[in-house]
Amino acid sequence: MENKLLVKAITKTDKSVISRLYINGHFECFTLEDVDRGLKKDMPLSILQKMKVAGKTAIPEGSYKVTTSFSNRFQKILPILLDVPAFDGIRIHPGNYPEDTEGCLLLGNGISKDMVTNSKIAFEAFFIKLKKMLECDTVEITFDRSLT
């Protein structure tokens, strides 16, 4: 059985997207990403590259495989999203503000305007579950930015 993560947007501003993260249908925590610029995974690469603002753009809507690997930036093993078009090194990691994301997905147990709180605690709880899921099967993450 493939494990499913869903990142479902709940609010968007001119600085960030805040979403709920679900693991196999169960709420896990909140997420923070950079600005939603309307990118979709199935858009032509040339369009994605034109619309993207480096380090300030949310991950294109769609589904991606998740695994773990060593992060040179953070000097430890972290989750990474595979084959994100027009993006490289998209990780899931702790952080609180849009400036902390550089296109990555930040986790938190609480939210405020353009921020998540208790990020390290939320990340550690999520990472334990993710590693268990990866022992058994593949993990897929889907980004849904519709606010309905």
Burial of 79 (0-12, 13-18, 19+ CB in 10 A): buried
Confidence at residue 146, expressed as pLDDT on a 0 to 100 scale: 92
Cα–Cα distance for residue pair 64/82, rounded to 1 Å: 6
Confidence at residue 68, expressed as pLDDT on a 0 to 100 scale: 97
Confidence at residue 148, expressed as pLDDT on a 0 to 100 scale: 73
pLDDT along the chain (148 residues), means of 10: 90 96 97 96 96 94 96 94 95 95 94 96 97 94 91
**Backbone torsions φ then ψ of 3, nearest 5 degrees:** -90, 135
CB 103 within 8 A of CB 93: no
Specify the DSSP element, H or E, that contains 112.
strand 110-112
Instruction: Output the CA–CA distances (angstroms, integers) from residue 120 to 12, 13, 101, 125, 144, in the order listed.
Output: 23, 23, 14, 9, 24
